[in-house]
């Protein structure tokens, strides 16, 4: 099932749903015909869309908003914070092409601080999907929750079968005494590759899909901090304010210590098509594994298909 | 003006060649081509030797996704080596879907709509304060006018009487998914800008004579923001994609590129087989 199919099913059968967009229709092409007046395209007006969503939520609706992650989280930031965050209204943000998924667009379209700024707003919950199956498995729970929610959309397909989603819980893929990779979103795909390479090199490797970033699974973080010699926070996000910060805050809060390798970004990335971006910035599974090992392996990096441009 | 026609033709060839192997926003680039070629060759005092001169003119490309037209123009007027266009989307260069200042001659990065009217306003304000004579042009998309900040900039430009600032609207009638008038209607656009205090001219944005007549009248009225609404055609030069809402961002096959180049020269129309990309 795709994002659009599930959204259609939920929205058609529940009058509370209003599907909104600031002219970003890539994932909701067929919704206007299905929903009629409950599909609202405000044009390229992210701020007005979020304000209007708050008004709709005041009247008992569940608005689901679609725009590029950079414009939804940053252009409309104060509207999210003031109109959805302060009154704790169930405004649901679906953020397209977060992180590396903006490939050749350039810095204007790179949402790599979105987790930091969205989780900084009280009441706003933050999630990221590892792939399409993970996405489809989480949205009903997120949209049924009473809080505003920011969701990093990722519709890439992987073969991985995810376990059922729960707000505030990490998905434990594997456990390992030598190293544990904590990641979310697009890089889950690369983390799986890296994990396999590390296992082939004889390491005992754990992997967590941190799909609920706020609330975060503190117990899962504390557990791997105690049982693993090294933690790696892998993210297509600035190290400031993202998962590295979340792990640091959690350890500090509970008076626990750990060796943590931050594996995120410190500046905007080089714009190009996704496979080239990953290789240039050092985020292919093979590069991740080699950086963790500290030496070069003979492992083969699987080819990554060039994504369809889906701004 | 025939030399401008020649330059614009070559710029459109460059745009078409950039619309494969990852693609680009070809329709909007083709609509803005004549505007950009006219401004750089006939109106603006900008060349490779005066980029550091604070007294030169400025051009801000606010909608941003039409930057292939700017790359192509830069290649034709000597601001950029034409060979670099082959590096489109390569990690070894800085030529991608939106403008950035690593390309000499590009004033500011853009791509997030509704930013550069304000940035251009700041530059025009400084020029006014210093008593300068240079002119500041900002090219906006018509869909971009959905963003409230565009209209805030018009209000502020009016307040500060910035008659050295020129907003040029590439009025190609489309935004990403559909005609502008079917989504968030903009008309009567002339009246809207006039009511906000601007001096407005509405012209055929593909006629170099009309462009010349309009820009020769700069400043349109003392103390008023200049606005040029340039009526254009999205995909101008390629009948097989022009006026089609579903051909906004295009990633053509190599065969289609060859055919489109012939179509541009008026030889044939193209049977497009590549998938229509679902964007925005």
Taking residues A226-232, what's their average pLDDT? Answer: 98
B232 within 8 A of B66, measured Cβ to Cβ: no
Residue B248: pLDDT band with limits 50, 70, 90: confident
CB contact under 8 A, B277 and A108: no
Same domain as A255, residue A141: no
Domain range for residue A131? 3-152
Taking residues B118-130, what's their average pLDDT? Answer: 95
- pLDDT for residue B232: 97
| pLDDT at residue A308 tops 70 | no
Taking residues A192-210, what's their average pLDDT? Answer: 97
Peptide bond into B160 cis (omega under 30): no
Task: Compare all CA atoms of chain B with the CA of A272 and give the residue at the minimum distance.
Answer: B89
A305 within 8 A of A157, measured Cβ to Cβ: no
Same domain as A271, residue A133: no
- pLDDT for residue B278: 53
What does the alpha-carbon distance between residue B78 and residue B48 come to, in Å, rounded to a whole number?
7
With CA atoms as reference, report the closest residue to A92 among A158, A132, A162, A139.
A139
A68 occurs within a structural domain: yes
- At the fourth CATH level, the homologous superfamily of domain B2-231 is Thiamin diphosphate (ThDP)-binding fold, Pyr/PP domains (3.40.50.970)
Identity of the residue in A23, A42, A104 whose CB atom sits nearest the CB atom of B89: A104
Written as six digits, the tokens of B7 are 């330059």
Written as six digits, the tokens of B4 are 């401008």
| pLDDT at residue A188 tops 60 | yes
Task: Compare all CA atoms of chain B with the CA of A111 and give the residue at the minimum distance.
Answer: B112
| pLDDT at residue B241 tops 70 | yes
Residue A307: pLDDT band with limits 50, 70, 90: low
Same domain as A191, residue A71: no
pLDDT tens for each residue of A54-93: 999 999 999 999 999 999 999 999 999 999 999 999 999 9
DSSP bridge pairs for B136? B58, B165
CATH number at residue A242: 3.40.50.920
CB atoms within 10 A of CB B92: 10
Split into its structural domains, chain A has a count of 2
Q: Cα angle at B177 between B27 and B210, to 5 degrees?
A: 40
- Look over chain A and give the mean of its residue pLDDT values, rounded to a whole number: 96
Same domain as A70, residue A30: yes
- What's the CA dihedral at B20, B26, B30, B35 to 10 degrees? -110
Taking residues B181-193, what's their average pLDDT? Answer: 97
With CA atoms as reference, report the closest residue to B139 among B70, B215, B194, B59.
B59
CB atoms within 10 A of CB B101: 11
The residue ranges of every structural domain in chain B are: 2-231
A305 occurs within a structural domain: no
pLDDT tens for each residue of A104-162: 999 999 999 999 999 999 999 999 999 999 999 999 999 999 999 999 999 999 999 99
DSSP result, B136-201: EEEEEETGGGGSHHHHHHHHHHHHTT-TTEEEEEEE-SB-SSSBHHHHS---SHHHHHHHTT-EEE
Same domain as A177, residue A124: no
Identity of the residue in A25, A26, A45 whose CB atom sits nearest the CB atom of B146: A45
CATH number at residue A80: 3.40.50.970
- pLDDT for residue A274: 94
Same domain as A137, residue A199: no
Same domain as A137, residue A29: yes
CB contact under 8 A, B96 and A70: no
- pLDDT for residue B274: 77
Same domain as A187, residue A102: no
Taking residues B235-245, what's their average pLDDT? Answer: 88
A261 occurs within a structural domain: yes
Gap between the terminal Cα atoms of chain A: 21
- pLDDT for residue B276: 64
Residue A213: pLDDT band with limits 50, 70, 90: very high
Same domain as A125, residue A192: no
Three-class DSSP category at A258:
coil
Same domain as A199, residue A118: no
């Amino acid at each position: 099932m795709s994002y659009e199919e599930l959204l259609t099913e939920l929205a058609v059968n529940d009058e509370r749903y209003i599907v909104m967009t600031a002219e970003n229709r890539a994932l909701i092409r067929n919704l206007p015909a299905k929903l009629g007046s409950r599909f609202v395209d405000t044009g390229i007006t992210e701020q007005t869309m979020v304000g209007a969503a708050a008004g709709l939520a005041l009247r008992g609706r569940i608005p689901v908003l679609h725009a590029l992650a950079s414009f939804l989280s940053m252009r409309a930031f104060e509207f999210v914070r003031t109109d959805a965050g302060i009154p704790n209204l169930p405004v649901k943000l679906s953020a397209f092409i977060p992180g590396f998924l903006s490939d050749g667009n350039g810095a204007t379209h790179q949402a790599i601080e979105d987790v930091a700024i969205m989780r900084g707003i009280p009441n706003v919950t933050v999630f990221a999907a590892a792939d399409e199956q993970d996405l489809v498995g989480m949205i009903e729970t997120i949209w049924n929750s009473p809080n505003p929610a920011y969701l990093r959309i990722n519709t890439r397909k992987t073969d991985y079968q995810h376990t059922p989603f729960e707000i505030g819980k990490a998905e434990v893929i594997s456990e390992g005494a030598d190293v544990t990779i904590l990641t979310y979103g697009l890089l889950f795909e690369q983390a799986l590759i890296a994990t396999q390479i590390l296992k082939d090199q004889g390491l005992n490797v754990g992997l967590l899909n941190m799909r609920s970033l706020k609330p975060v699974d503190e117990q899962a973080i504390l557990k791997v901090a105690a049982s693993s010699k090294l933690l790696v926070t892998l993210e297509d996000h600035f190290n400031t304010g993202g998962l590295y910060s979340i792990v640091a805050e959690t350890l500090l809060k509970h008076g626990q210590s750990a060796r943590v390798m931050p594996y995120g970004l410190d500046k905007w990335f080089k714009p190009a098509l996704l496979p080239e971006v990953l290789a240039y910035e050092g985020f292919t599974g093979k590069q991740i594994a080699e950086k963790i090992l500290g030496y070069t392996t003979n492992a083969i990096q699987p080819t990554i298909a060039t994504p369809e441009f889906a701004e | 003006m025939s030399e401008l026609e020649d330059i614009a033709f070559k710029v459109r060839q460059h745009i078409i060649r950039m619309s494969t192997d990852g693609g680009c926003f070809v329709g909007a680039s083709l609509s803005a081509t004549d505007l950009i070629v006219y401004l750089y060759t006939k109106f603006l005092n900008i060349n490779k030797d005066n980029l550091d001169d604070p007294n030169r003119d400025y051009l801000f490309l606010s909608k941003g996704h039409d930057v292939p037209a700017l790359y192509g123009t830069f290649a034709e007027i000597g601001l950029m080596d034409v060979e670099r266009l082959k590096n489109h989307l390569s990690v070894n260069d800085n030529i991608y879907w939106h403008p950035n200042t690593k390309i000499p001659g590009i004033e500011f990065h853009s791509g997030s709509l509704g930013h550069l009217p304000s940035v251009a306003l700041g530059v025009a304000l400084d020029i006014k304060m210093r008593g300068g004579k240079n002119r500041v042009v900002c090219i906006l998309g018509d869909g971009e006018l959905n963003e409230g900040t565009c209209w805030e900039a018009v209000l502020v430009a009016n307040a500060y009487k910035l008659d050295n600032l020129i907003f040029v609207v590439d009025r190609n009638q489309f935004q990403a998914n559909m005609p502008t008038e079917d989504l968030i209607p903009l008309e009567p656009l002339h009246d809207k800008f006039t009511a906000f205090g601007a001096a407005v001219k509405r012209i055929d944005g593909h006629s170099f004579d009309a462009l010349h007549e309009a820009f020769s009248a700069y400043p349109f009225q003392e103390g008023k923001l200049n606005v040029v609404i340039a009526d254009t055609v999205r995909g101008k030069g390629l009948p097989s994609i022009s006026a089609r809402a579903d051909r906004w961002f295009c990633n053509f096959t190599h065969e289609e590129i060859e055919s489109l180049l012939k179509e541009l020269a008026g030889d044939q129309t193209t049977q497009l087989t590549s998938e229509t990309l679902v964007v925005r």
